[in-house]
Amino acid sequence: MHTPKLPARLGAEFLGTFWLVFAGCGSAIFAALYLGGDASNVQLGIGFTGVALAFGLTVLTMAYAVGHVSGGHFNPAVTIGLAVAKRFEWKDVPAYVATQVVAGLVAGAALLTIASGKDGFDRVGHMAANGYGAYSPGGYALGAVFLAEALLTAVFLYIILGATDGRAPKGFAPIAIGLGLTLIHLVSIPISNTSVNPARSTGVAFFNADGAPGQLWLFWLAPIVGAVIAGATYAMITGANEPDISGETKDVREKVVAA
């Protein structure tokens, strides 16, 4: 199968990561809590469930739209985890990660520009940033947030690696991955506002301020630790690349449509 040239793959990664941060974080900024009617103040927002679904849909839609071009990582932790699992070339990791981070920052800038169009909007603490301690939505401590982010990112990588395994049903990987990310958000929005993606965290942290830049290190370290663990253990756990009964090695490496 023909592999697109690196500039095309980076363009696809930029587009996918931009959409993930813009639509996912945008759903939290603009639609999570929305009061309709000056008198009634009826809650018309989408809440945690809607935000979780928004993030999952960003991955599902872009995995189908451009995953065939770049592999559809949209996440530095995913790129690193896939490289550890020997599903992605290490030489392309720096370019992918840099592109994802830049795309996240561009999306964050776009969100801030739109949000600032409303009188009275205060960006400080209102840009869907991730955090622990006083900046965790539920007040969860550093250790709890680190464990949740590392564990959930590891599970996310297991879903990605399993859904794109050569033994898995063909064509359904984006659905499993998108729904997996939705479930991860349903679990962890109250814990950390859900990262599992350093580009997503970086994209809004500096625009949000209010402690987010100083806590950004955790939302790089924890997802990468989780992704490395999953990438290093997937084959051992699932028996990938072990000889079958004929003595031949199962080839499970495919062009990865991830998230």
> What integer pLDDT is reported at residue 37 of this predicted model?
59
CATH of domain 6-238: 1.20.1080.10
Instruction: Render pLDDT for 130-167 as a digit per residue (tens, 0 to 9).
Output: 999 999 999 999 999 999 999 999 999 999 999 999 99
Residue 240: CB partners within 8 Å, gap ≥ 6? 165, 234, 250, 252
pTM: 0.91
Grade residue 38 by pLDDT with cuts at 50, 70 and 90: low
Give residue-wise pLDDT tens across range 77-88: 999 999 999 999
Residue 246: which pLDDT band, with cuts at 50, 70 and 90? very low
The domains of the chain are located at 6-238
Residue 94 CA neighbour count, 13 Å, CB half: 1
Q: Report helix angle 6-26 to 47-70, nearest 10.
A: 170
Question: For the segment 186-212, what is each residue's pLDDT rounded down to a tens digit?
Answer: 999 999 999 999 999 999 999 999 999
Read off the pLDDT band of 39 (50, 70, 90): low
For the four alpha carbons of 125, 129, 21 and 97, in that order, the dihedral sign comes to positive
pLDDT 10s digits, 92-101: 999 999 999 9
Gyration radius from the chain CA atoms:
19
